[in-house]
Chain A
Amino acid sequence: DADVTQTPRNRITKTGKRIMLECSQTKGHDRMYWYRQDPGLGLQLIYYSFDVKDINKGEISDGYSVSRQAQAKFSLSLESAIPNQTALYFCATSVRRGAFYEQFFGPGTRLTVL
Protein backbone atom coordinates (compact mmCIF):
# COMPACT_ATOMS: atom_id res chain seq x y z
CA ASP A 1 0.00 0.00 0.00
CA ALA A 2 1.01 3.61 -0.55
CA ASP A 3 3.01 5.22 2.21
CA VAL A 4 1.44 8.66 2.39
CA THR A 5 2.81 11.14 4.87
CA GLN A 6 1.57 14.57 5.80
CA THR A 7 3.29 17.42 7.60
CA PRO A 8 2.52 18.99 9.94
CA ARG A 9 0.11 16.69 11.76
CA ASN A 10 -1.33 19.52 13.80
CA ARG A 11 -1.19 23.26 13.25
CA ILE A 12 -2.72 26.22 15.00
CA THR A 13 -2.52 29.52 13.18
CA LYS A 14 -4.12 32.94 13.12
CA THR A 15 -6.48 34.53 10.65
CA GLY A 16 -4.67 36.01 7.67
CA LYS A 17 -1.57 33.83 7.91
CA ARG A 18 -0.28 31.85 4.96
CA ILE A 19 -0.13 28.13 5.64
CA MET A 20 1.32 25.26 3.64
CA LEU A 21 0.42 21.63 4.21
CA GLU A 22 2.73 19.09 2.66
CA CYS A 23 2.11 15.60 1.39
CA SER A 24 4.62 13.01 0.24
CA GLN A 25 4.21 9.47 -1.01
CA THR A 26 6.77 6.76 -1.67
CA LYS A 27 4.95 4.29 -3.90
CA GLY A 28 5.11 6.07 -7.22
CA HIS A 29 1.38 6.72 -7.64
CA ASP A 30 0.60 9.34 -10.26
CA ARG A 31 -2.69 10.55 -8.83
CA MET A 32 -2.86 12.69 -5.71
CA TYR A 33 -5.70 14.49 -3.95
CA TRP A 34 -6.43 16.95 -1.15
CA TYR A 35 -9.61 16.69 0.90
CA ARG A 36 -11.00 18.45 3.93
CA GLN A 37 -13.30 16.91 6.49
CA ASP A 38 -15.45 18.88 8.88
CA PRO A 39 -17.18 17.30 11.91
CA GLY A 40 -20.26 15.42 10.80
CA LEU A 41 -19.54 16.04 7.14
CA GLY A 42 -18.17 13.88 4.40
CA LEU A 43 -14.83 14.39 2.77
CA GLN A 44 -14.85 17.24 0.30
CA LEU A 45 -12.39 17.36 -2.56
CA ILE A 46 -10.27 20.52 -2.72
CA TYR A 47 -7.82 19.82 -5.56
CA TYR A 48 -6.49 16.83 -7.41
CA SER A 49 -3.65 16.04 -9.74
CA PHE A 50 -3.41 13.09 -12.13
CA ASP A 51 0.24 13.73 -12.93
CA VAL A 52 2.93 16.34 -12.37
CA LYS A 53 1.62 18.65 -15.10
CA ASP A 54 -2.03 18.24 -14.25
CA ILE A 55 -3.88 20.25 -11.57
CA ASN A 56 -7.66 20.30 -11.22
CA LYS A 57 -10.04 22.12 -8.92
CA GLY A 58 -12.33 20.09 -6.75
CA GLU A 59 -15.66 21.08 -5.29
CA ILE A 60 -14.30 23.54 -2.70
CA SER A 61 -11.11 25.06 -4.13
CA ASP A 62 -11.81 28.71 -3.23
CA GLY A 63 -9.24 30.00 -0.75
CA TYR A 64 -6.78 27.19 -1.53
CA SER A 65 -3.98 26.61 -4.00
CA VAL A 66 -1.77 23.60 -4.69
CA SER A 67 1.61 22.75 -6.10
CA ARG A 68 2.70 19.41 -7.53
CA GLN A 69 6.45 19.72 -7.12
CA ALA A 70 7.16 16.15 -8.16
CA GLN A 71 5.34 12.89 -8.61
CA ALA A 72 5.82 12.22 -4.91
CA LYS A 73 4.90 15.66 -3.53
CA PHE A 74 1.66 17.59 -3.51
CA SER A 75 1.33 20.68 -1.32
CA LEU A 76 -1.77 22.58 -0.30
CA SER A 77 -1.60 26.28 0.57
CA LEU A 78 -4.00 28.56 2.33
CA GLU A 79 -2.95 32.01 1.16
CA SER A 80 -4.79 33.87 3.92
CA ALA A 81 -6.27 31.50 6.45
CA ILE A 82 -9.75 32.14 7.84
CA PRO A 83 -11.53 30.44 10.78
CA ASN A 84 -13.93 28.45 8.60
CA GLN A 85 -10.91 26.67 7.12
CA THR A 86 -10.49 24.95 10.47
CA ALA A 87 -10.80 21.28 9.55
CA LEU A 88 -9.05 17.94 9.20
CA TYR A 89 -7.14 17.82 5.92
CA PHE A 90 -6.31 14.57 4.16
CA CYS A 91 -3.97 13.93 1.29
CA ALA A 92 -4.54 10.82 -0.79
CA THR A 93 -2.99 8.92 -3.67
CA SER A 94 -4.63 6.40 -5.91
CA VAL A 95 -3.61 3.34 -7.88
CA ARG A 96 -5.48 1.39 -10.52
CA ARG A 97 -7.06 -1.85 -9.39
CA GLY A 98 -8.61 -3.36 -12.49
CA ALA A 99 -11.64 -1.27 -13.38
CA PHE A 100 -11.32 1.26 -10.59
CA TYR A 101 -8.82 3.34 -8.64
CA GLU A 102 -8.28 2.66 -4.95
CA GLN A 103 -7.42 5.68 -2.86
CA PHE A 104 -4.95 5.62 0.02
CA PHE A 105 -5.05 8.38 2.57
CA GLY A 106 -2.42 10.04 4.67
CA PRO A 107 -2.90 10.35 8.42
CA GLY A 108 -4.35 13.85 8.18
CA THR A 109 -3.42 17.34 9.30
CA ARG A 110 -5.59 18.96 11.95
CA LEU A 111 -5.66 22.69 11.22
CA THR A 112 -7.10 25.28 13.56
CA VAL A 113 -7.43 28.89 12.44
CA LEU A 114 -8.03 31.32 15.27
Chain B
Amino acid sequence: RKEVEQDPGPFNVPEGATVAFNCTYSNSASQSFFWYRQDCRKEPKLLMSVYSSGNEDGRFTAQLNRASQYISLLIRDSKLSDSATYLCVVSPSGYSTLTFGKGTMLLVSP
Protein backbone atom coordinates (compact mmCIF):
# COMPACT_ATOMS: atom_id res chain seq x y z
CA ARG B 1 0.00 0.00 0.00
CA LYS B 2 1.39 3.39 -0.95
CA GLU B 3 2.07 5.73 1.93
CA VAL B 4 -0.14 8.55 0.70
CA GLU B 5 -2.83 7.87 -1.86
CA GLN B 6 -4.90 10.35 -3.81
CA ASP B 7 -7.29 10.17 -6.72
CA PRO B 8 -5.26 11.71 -9.57
CA GLY B 9 -8.35 13.20 -11.24
CA PRO B 10 -8.69 15.40 -13.13
CA PHE B 11 -11.68 16.88 -11.43
CA ASN B 12 -13.44 19.13 -13.95
CA VAL B 13 -15.79 21.61 -12.30
CA PRO B 14 -17.47 24.86 -13.37
CA GLU B 15 -16.73 28.14 -11.66
CA GLY B 16 -18.65 28.50 -8.43
CA ALA B 17 -18.83 24.78 -7.76
CA THR B 18 -17.84 23.07 -4.55
CA VAL B 19 -15.32 20.28 -4.89
CA ALA B 20 -13.80 17.89 -2.38
CA PHE B 21 -10.64 15.81 -2.47
CA ASN B 22 -9.73 12.95 -0.19
CA CYS B 23 -6.42 11.41 0.65
CA THR B 24 -5.51 8.34 2.69
CA TYR B 25 -2.26 7.64 4.48
CA SER B 26 -0.83 4.37 5.68
CA ASN B 27 1.49 5.38 8.51
CA SER B 28 -0.59 5.59 11.67
CA ALA B 29 2.33 7.37 13.36
CA SER B 30 1.88 10.38 11.09
CA GLN B 31 1.51 13.52 13.15
CA SER B 32 1.47 16.43 10.74
CA PHE B 33 -0.70 16.86 7.69
CA PHE B 34 -0.75 19.40 4.91
CA TRP B 35 -2.20 20.34 1.59
CA TYR B 36 0.22 21.82 -0.93
CA ARG B 37 -0.75 23.37 -4.24
CA GLN B 38 1.32 22.94 -7.39
CA ASP B 39 0.67 24.83 -10.60
CA CYS B 40 1.76 23.25 -13.85
CA ARG B 41 5.58 22.97 -14.01
CA LYS B 42 5.93 25.16 -10.93
CA GLU B 43 7.12 24.50 -7.40
CA PRO B 44 4.71 23.25 -4.71
CA LYS B 45 3.50 25.81 -2.20
CA LEU B 46 1.87 25.24 1.16
CA LEU B 47 -1.88 25.75 0.96
CA MET B 48 -2.76 24.88 4.51
CA SER B 49 -1.93 22.67 7.43
CA VAL B 50 -4.57 20.22 8.60
CA TYR B 51 -5.48 20.09 12.26
CA SER B 52 -7.34 17.36 14.12
CA SER B 53 -10.23 19.68 14.81
CA GLY B 54 -10.45 20.72 11.17
CA ASN B 55 -9.60 24.17 9.93
CA GLU B 56 -10.81 26.71 7.44
CA ASP B 57 -9.01 29.35 5.42
CA GLY B 58 -11.41 31.40 3.35
CA ARG B 59 -12.97 29.11 0.75
CA PHE B 60 -10.81 26.15 1.79
CA THR B 61 -11.66 23.69 4.55
CA ALA B 62 -9.43 20.82 5.62
CA GLN B 63 -10.47 17.88 7.77
CA LEU B 64 -8.52 15.05 9.36
CA ASN B 65 -9.91 11.68 10.40
CA ARG B 66 -7.19 9.89 12.35
CA ALA B 67 -9.25 6.76 12.98
CA SER B 68 -9.77 6.20 9.27
CA GLN B 69 -6.44 7.77 8.31
CA TYR B 70 -7.80 10.14 5.74
CA ILE B 71 -7.57 13.83 5.06
CA SER B 72 -9.94 15.94 3.02
CA LEU B 73 -9.88 19.30 1.32
CA LEU B 74 -13.07 21.15 0.43
CA ILE B 75 -13.00 24.10 -1.95
CA ARG B 76 -16.12 26.26 -2.09
CA ASP B 77 -17.05 28.72 -4.84
CA SER B 78 -14.30 27.49 -7.15
CA LYS B 79 -12.37 30.09 -9.12
CA LEU B 80 -10.52 29.68 -12.40
CA SER B 81 -7.34 30.39 -10.46
CA ASP B 82 -7.93 27.32 -8.31
CA SER B 83 -6.96 25.13 -11.27
CA ALA B 84 -3.87 23.29 -10.08
CA THR B 85 -2.69 20.01 -8.64
CA TYR B 86 -3.32 19.56 -4.93
CA LEU B 87 -0.78 17.48 -3.05
CA CYS B 88 -1.62 15.67 0.15
CA VAL B 89 1.40 15.58 2.45
CA VAL B 90 2.04 13.80 5.74
CA SER B 91 4.87 13.69 8.22
CA PRO B 92 5.51 11.22 11.04
CA SER B 93 6.27 14.11 13.32
CA GLY B 94 6.41 17.83 13.07
CA TYR B 95 10.15 17.79 12.81
CA SER B 96 10.92 15.21 10.18
CA THR B 97 10.68 14.84 6.44
CA LEU B 98 7.51 14.92 4.37
CA THR B 99 5.82 12.24 2.31
CA PHE B 100 3.91 13.50 -0.70
CA GLY B 101 0.97 12.01 -2.49
CA LYS B 102 0.96 12.08 -6.28
CA GLY B 103 -1.58 14.87 -6.33
CA THR B 104 -5.12 15.49 -7.51
CA MET B 105 -5.59 17.72 -10.53
CA LEU B 106 -8.38 20.28 -10.47
CA LEU B 107 -9.58 22.06 -13.60
CA VAL B 108 -12.07 24.88 -13.12
CA SER B 109 -13.82 26.01 -16.28
CA PRO B 110 -15.81 29.20 -17.03
Contact = CB atoms under 8 A, between A and B. Distances in A.
B97 A42 contact: no
Contact of A90 (B4, B43, B49, B97): B43
Interface of B is mostly: loop
Interface residues of A, number: 21
Interface of B: 4, 8, 32, 34, 41-46, 49, 87, 91, 94-95, 97-98, 100-103
Contact of B43 (A44, A101, A102, A108): A108
Interface in A12-61: 33, 40-45, 48, 58
Contact of A100 (B42, B87, B94, B101): B94
Given A42-B103, A43-B100, A105-B45, 9 more contacts: A42-B100, A42-B102, A45-B97, A45-B98, A90-B44, A100-B34, A101-B91, A101-B94, A101-B95
Contacts of A43: 44, 87, 100
A42 B46 contact: no
Interface of A: 33, 40-45, 48, 58, 88, 90, 97, 99-103, 105-108
Contacts of B101: 42
